[in-house]
Amino acid sequence: MTRGPTGVLINPDRRDEAMLRINHALALPDATARTYYEAAALEQDRRAPWARIKGLLEKATEIEPLFGEAQFLLGSHATDDGEYAVAIERLGAAVKAKPRNASYWNALAYAQAKAGQREDAKTSARAAVRTAQTEEQERMAQSLLESLN
């Protein structure tokens, strides 16, 4: 058994069954943002195309705009695709939802740096250093901040 992103235990041999249950829940008129996020996580585990995963994450953020985890995944993928304006918007929502998450701040700083927004990137990198909870997070944020100076 493994835990899904929300902590629900999922038997690796029963992912298809879990997906059927999630799809049933998604068909209900009151499907939650968390349900869409879980569906995206299961689809990612099943190696579904990014378009499918992205659609589920976007629906989660439509329902709950400050859904930090979904915004972070969308923003990180946008950064990887060179869509820095989208990345900054998504990662900005993630840090607004979870301002004490150093990984979110670091990702935002990186996207801002790639977009040429050096001063904003420095501010975000400093926030990443301040909110770091592990030595590795602090090291990564400090390294990014030093590269911006």
Please tell me the predicted confidence (pLDDT) of residue 149.
85
pLDDT at 8 over 60: no
Determine the distance from the C-alpha atom of residue 92 to the mean position of all C-alpha atoms in its chain, rounded to a whole number.
11
Question: Is the pLDDT confidence value at 69 over 90?
Answer: yes
Compute the Cα dihedral for 26, 30, 34, 36 and give only its sign: positive
108 contacts 92 by C-beta, under 8 angstroms: yes
Say if residue 18's pLDDT is above 90. Answer: no
Q: Exposed, middle or buried: residue 124 (CB in 10 Å: 0-12, 13-18, 19+)?
A: buried
- Dihedral in degrees, nearest 10, Cα atoms 98, 102, 106, 108: 10
pTM of the model: 0.85
